[in-house]
A and B are shown apart, each in its own frame.
Chain A
């Protein structure tokens, strides 16, 4: 099946610094990718929809200046957590779908997730 690779798998950073997380679709071109955040023992909450070549669409309550999303190519979306604070510590997961199958019932493919710890 299709593979979505996320990097890094874990990162520890100091408060006030910025952290970049990459999400790559390895064997298909993804015009749309999604970013989710998951706090411990909670579900995945959609943060934003990343659109290749255009601005990301953010869900209500998600600060776009805090979580910068760039989808500059059809295989790469990045999420940058700017001026990170301890409350940003979370598990971040991306997903991508193959647009060739848009409108059909196929699964999306998820990255392995990135555990961010801000100290």
Chain B
């Protein structure tokens, strides 16, 4: 399977703490994207990082990309209860719009 791996599978933290999720993938990519999914709902696009970028910020989100290690991380700072959701990385190979999703991290932020 080409599916990416994410760790941890589940993460439980207190409100105000930072949450870090990691994603590893297997093939060369055009870009990598992070999505959030609330239970039983659709996907919300969070951030896109191109293969020639190493770090990107958006509000409380910070994404890094290391193409030599085929890995990415998502950091959510000062977490809130509303951040409770599943987070997925998705990679897009070169010349394609086919998304390969990681296994996901279920984040629970306790108030």
Interface residues of chain A, those whose CB is within 8 Å of chain B, are 32, 34, 36, 41-46, 49, 91, 93, 95, 97, 102-103, 105-108, 110-113, 115
Contact = CB atoms under 8 A, between A and B. Distances in A.
B98 A43 contact: no
Nearest to B99: A108
Nearest to B94: A103
Given A91-B40, A113-B41, A115-B40, A102 B97 contact: yes
Contacts, number: 55
A34 B100 CA distance: 11
B77 interface: no
B55 to A, nearest CB: 16
Instruction: Classify the secondary structure of B's interface with A.
Output: strand
Interface of B: 3, 30-31, 33, 40-43, 45, 48, 50, 88, 92, 95, 97-104, 106
Contacts of A44: 43, 88, 99, 101
Nearest to A99: B97
14 contacts: A32-B97, A34-B98, A42-B103, A43-B88, A45-B3, A46-B101, A49-B98, A102-B97, A103-B95, A108-B92, A110-B42, A111-B42, A112-B41, A113-B41
B9 to A, nearest CB: 9
